[in-house]
Amino acid sequence: MENRVYFFDTTLRDGEQTPGVNLNQDEKVEIALRLESLGIDVIEAGFAAASPGDAQAVREVAQAVSKPVVLSLARANKADIDAVIQAIGDIENTGIHIFIATSPIHRERKLGMTKEQVIASAVESVSYAAKHFKHIEFSCEDATRTELEFISEICEKVIEAGATVLNLPDTVGYTTPEEYSNLFKYVMENTKGVEKVRLSCHCHDDLGMALSNSIAAIQAGALQVEGCVNGIGERAGNVALEEVAALLETRKGHYQKETGINLKEIAKTSKLVSRLTGIAIPPNKAVIGGNAFAHSSGIHQDGVIKDKSTYEILKPESVGFTETKLVLGKLSGRNALKKRYEELGYVVTDEQLKEIFKNFKDLTDRKKEIFDEDIIALLETQPNKGTIASYTFKDLSLQILGENQYRAFVHIVGSDQSTIEGVGEGNGPIDAIYKGIDSALSLDVELIDYKINSISKGKDSIGEVFVKVRNNESMVKGRAINVDIIVASANAYIDAINRLKSASPNFMKI
């Protein structure tokens, strides 16, 4: 049995289906480049048929990376396939991922199709795609609730039509490791031509079984595992690829599997995805959580002091975590800052450094200690070309009217450099500020979520604010950092508004 496991990342497609996550083109490219450094073999960059913007993002990703194969998702119909052909058909090292539902409940209740019709549609689509792509993945949506005989039959037909990868997803996180393992074994033993293709697993975590099921599939013969960084995705999310990689490496003697993953890139990749999606990493998250390498018990601390392997089966540095320490200050120069970025594994252009250094100097005037997390945050929160900055925050003032009652006077700079004033009253300073912004811009925006994170440590730590807002049917997130959490909150809200204007043609005002 082949021992090389390929990693298929769908953070930019399935991960973006997480409610409230909307990545623009530049953000997708930034994540894709980080995935390439991580060693991902296949990147599913989006769903080209969903919108012109999604198609363009898929193309931008395909042009940006060179090592991974870049795919776009497509339903089993000519229109979707044509959208993929138009988006990336002329770019080397690209492919297509075609899917159709196969389970009885999906065939009957969702598609209204017979088994014969599902097979005919699958074969016709794969045959058409094979004229344009060498890499064709075919997925039996809801495979784990599909009759085994039918799975084998449709897989055999699409192999004949030109499929090169067969994916048997646990679409709703329903199966168990034993059942999933048996599914792969059955397909391998009962499907003509299966030796010509790569079998792939794609597990959701609705019952908390995504990692166990993925490993069971790999042990049964699957040569590709699909998932997302940090385990994001539809509903309870997909399997967290960093967990699969860390497990296969840590227990290599048991699983006897090789991967192309560079584990030292895990921490940077995880942090970037968390920042750009606005989804915080739970402290108890395996491999990358803030507590993953923390020890509070006296017995544990004593053991770690004597020998780290007593309680650490995985070294923090092996997945890219570095010791946070004071490395720079207000007297540090531009070259010192650039060198520290290089030591942390980041590539910074001279153009980026010019803007970052200015913000760095501002930060050193406000913070006594500058930590690695601070300068990483400065880099990863640079303005993004994919979002048109229609409005920028200028300043504000607050009045206390009474118990928990505030009035905010907000000044915003428009795209024509004019200053727009707004006044708002609310239950607390943030509520008042947001109502002041709404008043200034005459907006009809609903705040869905508001979160604050501390990026480093100390009383003067940089605050990171995430907001999620909705306008009509569009829901987007905004993000900003600042030592002053009030300023960060205002900037995050305006960032979300700018994203709404960039992404939604139906952006509503009052």
For 386-411, the pLDDT digits (tens) are 555 689 999 999 999 988 899 999 99
3 state SS for 357-412: HHHHHHHHHHCCCECHHHHHHHHHCCCCCCCCCCCEEEEEEEEEEECCEEEEEEEE
Q: Tell whether the torsion through CA atoms of 70, 76, 78 and 83 is positive or negative.
A: negative
C-alpha of 201 from chain center: 19
Of the chain, the percentage scoring pLDDT greater than 90 comes to 65
399: nearest Cα among 442, 428, 359, 360: 428
Output the CA–CA distances (angstroms, integers) from residue 135 to 72, 162, 223, 320, in the order listed. Answer: 11, 9, 15, 32
Average pLDDT, the chain: 90
262: left (phi over 0), alpha (psi -120 to 50) or beta: beta
CB 113 within 8 A of CB 121: yes
pLDDT band at 326 (very low <50, low <70, confident <90, very high): very low
CB 424 within 8 A of CB 430: no
At 299 the pLDDT is: 64
At 183 the pLDDT is: 98
Name the residue type at position 503. Answer: A
Q: Is the pLDDT of residue 376 over 90?
A: no
Rounded to whole angstroms, the Cα distance separating 226 from 205 reads: 13
Name the residue type at position 356. Answer: I
End-to-end, the C-alpha distance of the chain in Å comes to 63
Q: Region 454-482: what's the mean pLDDT?
A: 84
Rounded to 5°, the CA angle 154-157-160 comes to 150
Q: Region 127-131: what's the mean pLDDT?
A: 98
Model pTM score: 0.81
236: nearest Cα among 473, 470, 15: 15
Alpha helix locations (H) across 278-333?
298-306
Q: Is the pLDDT of residue 235 over 60?
A: yes
pLDDT digits (tens, 9 = 90+) for 21-46: 889 899 999 999 999 999 999 999 99
C-alpha of 506 from chain center: 26
pLDDT digits (tens, 9 = 90+) for 46-88: 999 999 999 999 999 999 999 999 999 999 999 999 999 999 9
pLDDT band at 474 (very low <50, low <70, confident <90, very high): confident
CB 432 within 8 A of CB 408: yes
pLDDT digits (tens, 9 = 90+) for 401-451: 988 899 999 999 998 899 999 999 999 999 999 999 999 998 888 999 999
C-alpha of 247 from chain center: 20
Rounded to whole angstroms, the Cα distance separating 470 from 277 reads: 16
Rounded to 5°, the CA angle 279-283-287 comes to 95
Q: Region 190-201: what's the mean pLDDT?
A: 98
Q: Region 320-335: what's the mean pLDDT?
A: 70
pLDDT digits (tens, 9 = 90+) for 491-500: 999 999 988 8
Rounded to whole angstroms, the Cα distance separating 60 from 33 reads: 11
